[in-house]
Amino acid sequence: MITKVINVHKTYGSRESRVTALNGVSLDINDGDYISIIGPSGSGKTTLLSLIGCLIHPSKGDVYYNKNRVSDISEEELCILRGQEIGFVFQFTDLLSNLNVLENVLVPVIFNDGQISLKKQYAKELLERLGLGYCMYAKTNFLSGGERQRVAIARAMINRPRLILADEPTGDLDAKTSELIIKLFNEFNSEGVTIILITHNRNFADNAKNIYQMGEGRIQKILK
């Protein structure tokens, strides 16, 4: 078991600006799972992923990570846990423009064991695997959207996380690049990495072992 989400609710804002993003969601995530989450804009997908990634806390309900209640874990310990065990691929990539591609991939190492020189070879391997061998030393502001997204995936993998949380990693990408990314997720999962993938593309969602459909802050249907 990695994560147990128990009847979580999440509201943002207060009084008249209050928004209910999650309205009673429960799910279990086990080692080796591959779950995709689909559902309309505003249905709470990113909020749920942020809770699973221990980036935010629920307003009500609990999230357990490896049997520990996330709200009982100190912020320092959560930082370490996120750095070592979870790889995040966000909806909008957030690369550092003053660093080159390889350096961007190595950034999470600074927050983990700091062994940059040891991880360099693995970073290069990941970039080759993602078809980015040719631009390892390029500054990231010159990259295309698809290239940036692939750099973000290499960066998410660098600490060999047990869990990958990917929020629409194929958002604006062409079919070929999207398929490359999905194929990589399939490979990572067959190597034992647990994956949660938010996507608007039903074909991509079908790669997962389970598909949850969200609507109005709940899991409305388990499609698979």
Contacting positions for Mg ion (CB under 5 A)? 46
43 binds ligand ATP (CB under 6 A): yes
| Residue 19 contact, options ligand ATP, Mg ion, none, Cβ 5-8 Å cut-off depending on partner type | ligand ATP
State the Cα–Cα distance between residues 147 and 52, nearest whole angstrom: 26
Q: What's the first-to-final CA gap in the chain, in angstroms?
A: 20
User: Of the listed pieces 34-42, 62-70, 100-108, 182-190, which binds ligand ATP according to CB under 6 A?
Assistant: 34-42
**60: number of Cβ within 10 Å:** 12
Q: Which is nearer to Mg ion, 46 or 194 (CB)?
A: 46
User: Of the listed pieces 45-53, 64-72, 124-132, 179-187, which binds ligand ATP according to CB under 6 A?
Assistant: 45-53
Nearest to 25 by CA among 73, 62, 56: 62
The identity of residue 28, as a single letter, is: D
Own/partner long-range contacts of 175-179 (Cβ < 8 Å, ≥24 apart): 177/146, 177/149, 177/150, 178/204
Q: Are 117 and 103 in contact (CB under 8 A)?
A: no
| Residue 47 contact, options Mg ion, ligand ATP, none, Cβ 5-8 Å cut-off depending on partner type | ligand ATP
| Residue 42 contact, options Mg ion, ligand ATP, none, Cβ 5-8 Å cut-off depending on partner type | ligand ATP
Tokens representing 222? 């388990």
User: Of the listed pieces 38-46, 64-72, 135-143, 175-183, which binds ligand ATP according to CB under 6 A?
Assistant: 38-46
Q: How far is the CB of 205 from Mg ion (least distance, A)?
A: 14
Tokens representing 77? 């310990």
* Contacting residues toward ligand ATP, per CB under 6 A: 12-13, 19, 21, 39, 41-47
